[in-house]
């Protein structure tokens, strides 16, 4: 449901429509991953820890429960592309402290980063996430960026977890001149697959990861919740690739 194209785009109305239509659940994306939480009847513990929801499961009696599978989706994709140890004891900069940024930040902590440096154009949002993580993971492991270019230059890895670079939101929030080609660079966006950030990082020699793997891996968990069936991962990859081909052909 493209909320920006609907006459009545208020989130409560959309959720009510989903329930009335008999959906067993929905995925939730930008910009609703945090806004939807007050509308739900229950939160899975992992979603509560992340502070964002990307999947809502609706029971037969209409109760809506929020889950967050972006965290494990991104973590599994990262392990596939870079290896599970690529973030261990690393210094990582994440740009974006919204719903996706929260999930990826948790995934990075799961992977054992030494220091997570958070940047967001809304300073209070970065500070809020930093304070929550400091309380949960330890103050020594997280801080807010006070000089993004400087922090990127010293980082082992950089993540774009903002909407910037998505179709309709052009640009690149990462100072590319600060990349040195020895880092890994990851994006959560898959529309398009290769954002300006990923293209620029690749051109400097960085190893890169686009957002398609996160999308596919979170879909495994969502599908399991919706159907009770564990889907075939190669089959999901093929479906994603086919959809991508169709989308890019009509773009």
Comparing C-alpha atoms, which of 122, 135, 128 is closest to residue 95? 122
Q: Give the SS3 label for residue 96.
A: coil
- Identify whether the C-beta of residue 129 lies closer than 8 Å to the C-beta of residue 105: yes
Buried b (16+ CB within 10 A) or exposed e, 201-215: beebebbbbbbbbbb
For 98, other C-beta atoms within 10 Å of its C-beta total 20
Q: Where are the beta strands (DSSP E) in the chain?
A: 25-27, 42-43, 55-58, 64-67, 91-95, 115-119, 142-144, 157-160, 184-187, 207-209
Q: Cα dihedral sign for 120, 126, 130, 132?
A: negative
Per the CB < 8 A criterion, the answer to whether 141 and 116 are in contact is: yes
Is the backbone of residue 181 left (phi > 0), alpha (psi -120 to 50) or beta?
A: left
Total Cβ atoms within 10 A of residue 84: 14
Tell me how far apart the terminal alpha carbons of the chain are, to the nearest angstrom.
Answer: 18
Catalytic residue among 33, 48, 88, 182: 33
Known catalytic residue at 33? yes
**Catalytic sites, residue numbers:** 33
């Amino acid at each position: 449901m493209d909320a920006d194209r609907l006459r009545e785009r208020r989130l409560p109305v959309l959720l009510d429509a989903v329930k009335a239509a008999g959906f067993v659940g929905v995925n939730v994306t930008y910009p609703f991953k945090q806004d939807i939480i007050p509308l739900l009847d229950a939160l899975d513990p992992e979603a509560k820890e992340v502070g964002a929801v990307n999947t809502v499961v609706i029971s037969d009696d209409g109760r809506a429960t929020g889950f967050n599978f972006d965290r494990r989706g991104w973590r599994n994709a990262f392990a596939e592309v870079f290896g599970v140890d690529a973030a261990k004891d690393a210094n990582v900069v994440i740009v974006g402290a919204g719903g996706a940024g929260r999930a990826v930040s948790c995934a990075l902590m799961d992977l054992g980063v030494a220091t997570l440096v958070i940047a967001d154009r809304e300073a209070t949002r970065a500070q809020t996430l930093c304070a929550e993580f400091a309380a949960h993971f330890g103050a020594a492991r997280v801080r807010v960026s006070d000089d993004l270019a400087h922090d990127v230059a010293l980082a082992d890895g950089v993540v774009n977890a903002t909407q910037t670079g998505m179709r309709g939101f052009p640009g690149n929030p990462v100072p590319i001149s600060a990349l040195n080609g020895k880092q890994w660079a990851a994006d959560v966006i898959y529309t398009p697959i290769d954002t300006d950030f990923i293209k620029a990082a690749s051109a400097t020699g960085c190893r890169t990861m686009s957002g398609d793997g996160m999308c596919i891996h979170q879909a495994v968990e969502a599908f399991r919740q919706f159907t009770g069936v564990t889907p075939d991962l190669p089959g999901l990859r093929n479906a994603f690739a086919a959809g991508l081909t169709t989308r890019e052909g009509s773009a």
